[in-house]
Amino acid sequence: MSAFPRGEYMGRLARVKRAMAEAGIETLVVADPASMNYLTGYDGWSFYVHQFVVVTDDREEPLWVGRAMDAPGAALTTFLNDESIVPYPETYVDSPERHPASFLAEELIRRGRGRKPVGVELDSWYYTAKTHAELVRGLPDACFADATRLVAWARIVKSPAEIAMMRGAAAIVSRAMAAGMEAVAPGVRENDAVAAIMAAQIGGTADFWGDYPAALPSVPTGAKSAAPHLTWSGDRYQADTVGYLELGGCHNRYHAALARTVYFGRPPEALRRFSGVVEEGLDTALGAARAGVTCEEVEAAWRRVIARAGYEKASRIGYSIGLNYPPDWGERTASLRQGDRTVLRPDMCFHMILGMWQDDWGFELSETFRVTEAGAPEILTDFPRTLVVKD
Amino acid sequence: MSAFPRGEYMGRLARVKRAMAEAGIETLVVADPASMNYLTGYDGWSFYVHQFVVVTDDREEPLWVGRAMDAPGAALTTFLNDESIVPYPETYVDSPERHPASFLAEELIRRGRGRKPVGVELDSWYYTAKTHAELVRGLPDACFADATRLVAWARIVKSPAEIAMMRGAAAIVSRAMAAGMEAVAPGVRENDAVAAIMAAQIGGTADFWGDYPAALPSVPTGAKSAAPHLTWSGDRYQADTVGYLELGGCHNRYHAALARTVYFGRPPEALRRFSGVVEEGLDTALGAARAGVTCEEVEAAWRRVIARAGYEKASRIGYSIGLNYPPDWGERTASLRQGDRTVLRPDMCFHMILGMWQDDWGFELSETFRVTEAGAPEILTDFPRTLVVKD
């Protein structure tokens, strides 16, 4: 029942094992749910307890190590054989005495991994400081290396099967944006608009069922739109204010994201001009996003356009996107920003998001795209690329 | 715009500072979004970057330390004065060279905290191994103590204002359960049922707007119901199968949760009997959940009922619930299980969940309740406490 056939996972494992060998890592322990899913297919809302996937150079399949209660879920969602699923007892859950990382350390020693170099995702959510301390204590003869982004970098170029998932996610988010723009209006409570958006995100399409996006709809207006990551409340939308919708679409844990700005009323001329500059910047930067170009060159193309109009933006204009879990659909690898010299390759996917937060209002415009073999990128998302006016 | 008045936060801080003093901690660094919210009101979907709240014994207000882009959100959602909001620059985001914990360490040294004992939430999601390593490296003259559950334990007894939020959350989840049981039926895609459930969760009621629950609806049937934490797919519900809905309701980040089992068709007599035993166990355990009783005594009352019928359950039957963020609405403090001698006190709230997962099917029944001053608990959730039959 895994999302992809065994061969897809074997290709991923071969790539990850090569990266491990290059880094001198013989045992790789991952706790990031996206890494776990990428390597095994494992998919469950069980990352509120400690769980791991372990890749070793002496085994074809990885090991899944998690709570006993979740072992049936591992059997149902991974390509793994039963002997690769290693449950820890319930007594390790939320216990001050017993930590799942101690169980993992004992299991690794039992399997002859006690003196092998271990790679861990040091800066991954879900790999806590305590987990690391217990693992180090339990493996006193092993040396440790930081492998925080090892699997994330292996994910950056998508396979054809993954691209198909991304296209499904993009179809969903495009539909959710239409539902959201339909729902928002002066007098409507923010949460009621989000209810309509989420119903569209999860309902999906006839071809693509909607999975849960790794981040929630962002739907602020007025002063709240100046703060990028506030979630909604029961406040009502007001006439003559600007707002935006930043939404994700998800299919089988693959994401596309999309943002558009809306004005409730007749937009001020200055806002129209501002929107026009950002639209031109987006067109220009998308046009620059070709295989062989670096991330910072794409950002520079954007910066030149807005600088001419007298604007600037300190933060990045995009990031690699794909398979993920809360709290973030971004892959935390390549960013479209100054100093990032990652070279774009075909089948990398990015969310290019132009968030322009002013003192008391905000503006967003975005697309999710795939880098192609040659020429312009494939824009996966589909919604008119202009300021939405609800008058 | 914080969810509670300043006085509510001051009471919380007084309690936390007392716990700090008892533990010999002079600087408390928290990264758990629930701890951050509890101490300041901060509420944003920004926990995909590093952020902290710092409580010190020499300052009335805590410090909020986070990404520059999120400082306006901190100003909007917390009770803090501007000088308590400390932004770090964008160059610290997802950077291999600069970690936000180094920024935090420098800030603490600047404020004379370099030699003071520091408490950290070692086993909290969002406090990564890398964060800890960078903080320890940046504060070479400080000693560190594990304060993982310090704030969580301070949260366990709710104030009247918090209880009002819990009641709102319970009203929402009761409504979402009705919507879910209406939506599920043979032939319906799981994701379409979830779309209806989420619309109800977020739509909330006229009095209580729906916030996002910290965990998603769990809606499995058939073989998938044997695995507790699988999320949905595009599979269709089948006639003559058993399934369950486990849902959260949320208002202003406070949660109530509720689970019910459903049979699509005429339930087998054995399932009716089984359900009857679990219902009796729930009634009995709820009756035992009185102030002064220990968590393990509540669990023992349940165990006696099911043992008589020849059943057993290895995992806990409930946990403290309240303010939270993904991935978990449980507070990770008191659990209703053997060995937990936490004494129930008035205004503690628990989700008592009887999850009985068999080899190829599962059953759940739950309520969220408040411990009262005297007598039986207040059951916050409201849905008929029986097997739902959709024939």
A135 Cα to chain B: minimum distance (Å): 11
Which residues sit opposite A278 in a β-bridge?
A: none
A109: domain CATH number is 3.40.350.10
Q: Which of residues 153-212 of A touch B (CB under 8 A)?
A: 189-192, 194-196, 198-204, 208-212
Given B112, B129, B154, the domain boundary residue is B154
**Interface mutation vs chain B, best among A49, A201, A231, most B CBs within 10 Å:** A231
What does the pLDDT read at residue A391?
Answer: 86
B155 Cα to chain A: minimum distance (Å): 17
Q: Are strands A63-67 and A85-88 parallel, antiparallel or unpaired?
A: parallel
What does the pLDDT read at residue B221?
Answer: 87
If we measure between CA atoms, which residue out of B363, B194, B221, B227 comes closest to residue B282?
B363
| Residue B257 to residues A144, B94, B228, B356, Cα–Cα distance (Å) | 40, 35, 15, 17
Assess whether A164 and A276 both reside in one domain: yes
Do B122 and A99 make contact, defined as CB atoms within 8 angstroms?
no
- Note whether B46 contacts A: Cβ–Cβ < 8 A: yes
Which residue in A has a C-alpha nearest to residue B48's C-alpha? Answer: A327
Residue A235 lies in a domain: yes
Q: Where are the alpha helices (DSSP H) in chain B?
A: 6-23, 33-40, 71-77, 100-110, 129-138, 150-154, 160-183, 190-203, 269-288, 295-308
pLDDT tops 90 at residue A228: no
Q: A219-228, A380-389, B47-56 — which is least confidently predicted?
A: A219-228
Assess whether B176 and B322 both reside in one domain: yes
Assess whether B60 and B146 both reside in one domain: yes
CA angle B100/B105/B108 to nearest 5° reads 125
**Interface mutation vs chain A, best among B37, B42, B150, B191, most A CBs within 10 Å:** B191
- Note whether A90 contacts B: Cβ–Cβ < 8 A: yes
Alpha-carbon distance B293 to B212, whole Å?
A: 33
Residue range of the domain that includes B139: 6-154
Alpha-carbon distance B338 to B331, whole Å?
A: 18
Residue B1 lies in a domain: no
Residue A204 lies in a domain: yes
Assess whether B220 and B143 both reside in one domain: no
What does the pLDDT read at residue A96?
Answer: 83
Answer whether A135's CB lies under 8 Å from A101's CB.
Answer: yes
What does the pLDDT read at residue B223?
Answer: 83
A60 Cα to chain B: minimum distance (Å): 26
The ipTM value here is 0.96
A347: domain CATH number is 3.90.230.10
Answer whether B160's CB lies under 8 Å from B126's CB.
Answer: no
- Our count of domains for chain B comes to 2
Q: What is the pLDDT of residues A95-154, one digit of tens each?
A: 888 999 999 999 999 999 999 999 999 999 999 999 999 999 999 999 999 999 999 999
Given B126, B154, B182, the domain boundary residue is B154
Residue A221: band (very low, low, confident or very high) from pLDDT cuts 50, 70, 90? confident
Assess whether A212 and A88 both reside in one domain: no
| Residue A186 to residues A66, A145, A181, A222, A270, Cα–Cα distance (Å) | 48, 54, 12, 12, 21
Answer whether A53's CB lies under 8 Å from A72's CB.
Answer: no
A210 Cα to chain B: minimum distance (Å): 6
Q: Which residues, other chains included, contact B101 with Cβ-Cβ below 8 Å and sequence gap of 6+?
A: B50, B130, B131, B132, B134, B135, B138
Which residue in B has a C-alpha nearest to residue A75's C-alpha? Answer: B227
What does the pLDDT read at residue A1?
Answer: 80
Given B154, B178, B213, the domain boundary residue is B154
Residue stretches of chain B with pLDDT short of 70: none
Alpha-carbon distance B349 to B163, whole Å?
A: 9
**Interface mutation vs chain B, best among A36, A209, A216, A329, most B CBs within 10 Å:** A209
Long-range CB contacts (within 8 A, 24+) of B278-284: B278/B306, B278/B354, B278/B356, B278/B363, B278/B365, B279/B365, B279/B385, B279/B386, B280/B305, B281/B305, B281/B306, B281/B354, B282/B352, B282/B354, B282/B365, B282/B366, B282/B367, B282/B385, B283/B385
Assess whether A145 and A182 both reside in one domain: no
Q: Which of residues 224-253 of B touch A (CB under 8 A)?
A: 224, 226-234
Assess whether A125 and A262 both reside in one domain: no
Alpha-carbon distance B96 to A383, whole Å?
A: 35
Assess whether B38 and B170 both reside in one domain: no
Q: Considering the entire predicted model, what is its pTM?
A: 0.96
Residue A1 lies in a domain: no
Residue A195: band (very low, low, confident or very high) from pLDDT cuts 50, 70, 90? very high
Assess whether A181 and A143 both reside in one domain: no
Assess whether A368 and A245 both reside in one domain: yes
Dihedral, CA of residue A223, residue A224, residue A225 and residue A230, to nearest 10: 170
Q: What is the pLDDT of residues A272-325, one digit of tens each?
A: 999 999 999 999 999 999 999 999 999 999 999 999 999 999 889 999 999 999
Which residue in A has a C-alpha nearest to residue B216's C-alpha? Answer: A45
What does the pLDDT read at residue A314?
Answer: 84
Residue A365 lies in a domain: yes
Assess whether B203 and B149 both reside in one domain: no
Helix, strand and coil in chain A, % to nearest 5? 35, 25, 40
Do A45 and B189 make contact, defined as CB atoms within 8 angstroms?
no
What does the pLDDT read at residue A94?
Answer: 83
Assess whether B297 and B345 both reside in one domain: yes
